Each structure stands twice: as C-alpha cells, then as structure tokens.
Chain A
C-alpha cells in the first residue's frame, strides 16, 4: 500500500481538566474510506477538528504527505487539501446552488480592470459537477433550500472535491437522512474514493460504515480500540466496541435484535 497521506500520531487533546483525546493514532491512505466510529462523546468531533486545524493537539504529531504540520486555522488546512463537510453547516439554503458551490472560492473575471464574479463559469461548472454526482438540477440558480438533505451533502462533497481536497472529512453525513438519501451519499463516497481521495467518514451507524468502509477505527472515551480492516471484523464486533461491550449485550437481549 502507498504511504499514508495523513498520519495522526498519539494525539492528545485536553480541554482544561477534561481529557477529550487520550493518545489516538490513525493513518489514512489515499483512495480509502476510513470509517471513524464511536458513540456520542467518544471524541470523534474533537479528533476531526484536530485533523482539520480547528483545534491544536495538546500533544502528539500530525504528519501530512510526509511532513509534520502545524495548521494555524482551518483555512490553512483547507489550502493544504484537507476539507471538512459538516452535517448541517456547509450550505446556505437561501442561496443558489452555484453561489453555494463557489462560496469562498468565487471565480473571477476582469472587466475594465475590476474583478467581477464570473457567473457563467460558476453556473456551467456547477451543472457539470452536479451531473457527475447524479443530481439533476432545474438550473444553477435553484436554491439549495429546495434540495433534499442527501443532495445537499452531495453538493458539499462535490464542492470539496472540485476544489482539490486530498483528504475529505465527512462529519456524520448520513445521520439525519432517510434510507434512499443515505444510499445516495454512500454512493457518492464510493465515487470520491475511486478518484484517489482519502475519505474520513465519521458515523455512529455501523451499517453505513460497513457499506463503504475499507478500514474502521473505533473511538471510545477518547481512546482508540484499534483499526480493523474490512472483512476481518463483523458488524456485531464493531457495535460492541463502540458501546463498550457488556451493557449493550444486555440491552440488545431485551430489545431482541441488533440496535
């Protein structure tokens, strides 16, 4: 396998007296979908925020493309090619798809020495990229608010890919979606992975993880319980690791099936 694109080595993050991450190590390779699983409060969010430059680790090392790195803020991380797609906070419903798509990266054209927003280019590229992802827009001026939750996630992913993401962090992209929409987003993840982009897929749904994941890392109470490769682990084992075993078995017994 090729070298990992990003290595997180023994990352610790403390907030005051709270230890959010107690030494987490994860390698992510280009073209893989690395699932990061964990229950609420396991430290998933803190971990990806450290990866994307929002938080600085208290100790530990991040190595990106073989170089140790130190991001000052998320814009640095974005410029380097680490893009995060947040569950809710990526798209602006009142704005058109093409305005959203180029938000923060507006294409410019010069007319008489003054820079203007190049709407023709933005509209053309947006329609193209959306078609590639299998979304048919009425037009580039359609408001994002009229898209379904799954389509919005797809637009956000397509945007990150278009602007050269090498590592794509997806923060619970499927947690608020219906079955059909989830399937669409998972298919999008698959498309992206095949382009050689490393996908870090955060979820607490084992079935979604098993559907597209190549490797699985489970976080529990700020620690990793190891990384497993696809085929070496069953969904039940993952579920147990996430929940911390014992109590879950009892619960499942009383509920009569897999939660």
Chain B
C-alpha cells in the first residue's frame, strides 16, 4: 500500500517545485539586481563600506515595515495607515519627550502603547464591521496624518519639532533605536585597511563607517522573529488560515478575529519602530514623515511573493523585496540615473511580481 502511487499524479519537476516557494521571485530579483549594479555601477562607490551602509540602511527601513505588512497581508488584510502611523509616532515622541520634556524612555514606551492601541482599533473595526481593511485603514491614513499636522501646529506653531537628540542624551532606551553597535570591529577593519578611514580632520583615522545602526539590527531581528512566528509556530498556522479562508479557519476553531487584530497591532508596532529609529537619527519629528510608506511596504511584500488576497507569502521573501527596493533606489543614484526613473522601475517590477504571483497561485491550487 505504501509503495503504490496514483498513476494520475504526475511527478512534478524540481523547477516547478521551486516555483511554488514564495521566496523565489525575491531571490531571483535580488540576484538580478546585484548582478546588474555590479556590472554597471561597480566603480561608483556603491560597493565600498560607505555605499554598502547607504543602501543597507535604506533597505532596512523598508524591511522593518515590510515584515509587519507581510504578516498582515498573509492574514488577509491591508494597512494603508502605516505611513501616517510613522509620522504620528514620531510626532508623539517629540511631543512627549521635547514639548512636555518627559524622560525619553517614557515618551518612547507611551508612543508604542498608543500606536499599538491604534493598530488594535484599526483591526477591531475591520473584524467587527466586516468592512474591507482597505477602506478602514484609508480612513486612518487621513485621520492620523491630520493629527500629525494639527498637534505640532497648535502647540508649537510649526510642523517640525527638533531637539530630540538633546532630549535623548543619556537615556537608556533611546540608544536601542538610535545607537550603533560593533564600533570596535569597524575600527579594527579600518585599521587593517579593509574599509575606508577619514584622511583628515578631527576624525582622522576613524573608519568612515563606524558601526551598524540599530535600525539594521531591528530589521534583522524583526525578520527572524516574523519568519519563525509564521513558519514554526501554531500562531503562524493561524495567520495562514485566517488569510486563506476565514470561514474555514473559524470552523476549525481558529480565533480568526484575534489573529487579525494582533497582526494589525504588529504592523503598528513595526511602523513605530521605524518612526523611533528615524527621529533618533534625524533628531527631529516632521509632520510629513512616512509619506507613501504604506505603498512601499505593500510593494516590497508583493515583490517578495505574497498574494494580495492573503493566505500565502513569506517574511524572507518580503525582506528580499525590501532589499531589492533599497538597492535599486540607491543604486540608480550611484549609477547616475535620473531618480524619477526609479518610479518607472517600481511600477514595472510591481506589475511583473503580481502577474508572476497569480501564475504561481494557479500552480499551487492546481487550477489551470
């Protein structure tokens, strides 16, 4: 019995088997992008320590919000308020930490609580009303952006609040978002001549790149967390189930609403991590921060192989999508290509990714 095979099931080729892995598109895209830039922009400084750090930081920013958007999309929902949430979170930190002059760690923690609660509210409205999350979070896109502009204008008569770096001086929590790690390693690499060092000035002898920003550490940590959560835990199975077919999942006893609300909260959490890292780096919060980030997150996730309809996707894929995004955006700059063409590229690659994903879904579900 064990050895009999159904003669109607054709052996599937290894190629086809590889095709149904959601990460495939991201992997191929990553290889293609690096090959292209290595060929055409190798001497532009894109691959020296400074250049690598440049596109790594941009990619890491995309990765942080892509992880949240990815898990939420697999759970069957969208969040269009990510960009506004980034602006709002940054502004909250400035209001609590600078205007009200509370200790920075309290400002950061309260901001996390407020933003996760807003994410939960998003999710709660979606699961309660059964409305498409597209519409509900579109409303929040405007509501949060409106407050982000209104609050600083009302209390400070300006739309940018600075002084965050001074306020964060000596704080214990702020360096976890704004600090750097690995300085001794980079100093050593600089001394060994592996990476560039400053030739002149007060910092002569110090490496040009003096550490890994916590932003990148957060990105990697969130990717690992998201990937393990999705593929190796019970909750991950519930995320797939909630997005694949909410009704079937409920019939099997999966708490679909809880899963969805938690994923909205996680997306808000990721947006807040992004915001805190950003205000710590810039030293200020601006009312226009995070504009269009929601779409960039969704594009990275789709390039990474997730289906817009939910139930299928991969965190690793989304991270690769974010990497492609960051490398191309910065690479075009290094290669001296007109930056507006980046948008053209983005639209084209998005279209390709969606068509490829639809085709892959047909393979998985066996429909022709």
User: Measuring CB to CB, which residues of chain A are less than 8 angstroms from any residue of chain B?
Assistant: 74-75, 78, 84, 86, 89-95, 99, 102-106, 108, 115-117, 119, 131, 136, 138, 143, 145-147
Contacts and interface: CB of A to CB of B under 8 A. Distances in A.
Interface string B249-288: 1011110000000000000000000000000000000000
Contacts of B240: 92, 94-95, 99
Contact of A94 (B5, B6, B247, B312): B312
A99 B245 CA distance: 13
19 contacts: A74-B251, A78-B253, A89-B245, A89-B248, A90-B248, A90-B252, A92-B311, A95-B244, A95-B311, A99-B240, A104-B241, A115-B233, A115-B234, A117-B233, A119-B232, A143-B366, A145-B365, A146-B364, A146-B366
Between A95, A115, A131, the greatest number of chain B beta carbons within 10 A of the residue's beta carbon is seen for A95
Contacts, number: 89
Question: SS class of chain B's interface: helix, strand, loop or mixed?
Answer: loop
Contacts of A146: 364-366
A93 B244 contact: yes
Interface of B: 1-2, 4-6, 9, 12, 20, 231-234, 236-237, 240-241, 244-245, 247-249, 251-254, 307, 311-312, 361, 364-367
Given A90-B252, A94-B365, A117-B237, 20 more contacts: A74-B253, A89-B251, A92-B311, A93-B245, A94-B244, A94-B307, A94-B311, A94-B312, A94-B364, A95-B311, A99-B237, A103-B252, A104-B249, A105-B252, A106-B234, A116-B232, A131-B2, A136-B9, A145-B367, A146-B366
Given A145-B364, A146-B366, A136 B5 contact: yes
Contacts of B244: 92-95
A193 B327 CA distance: 60
A117 to B, nearest CB: 5
Contacts of A99: 237, 240-241
A108 B235 CA distance: 11
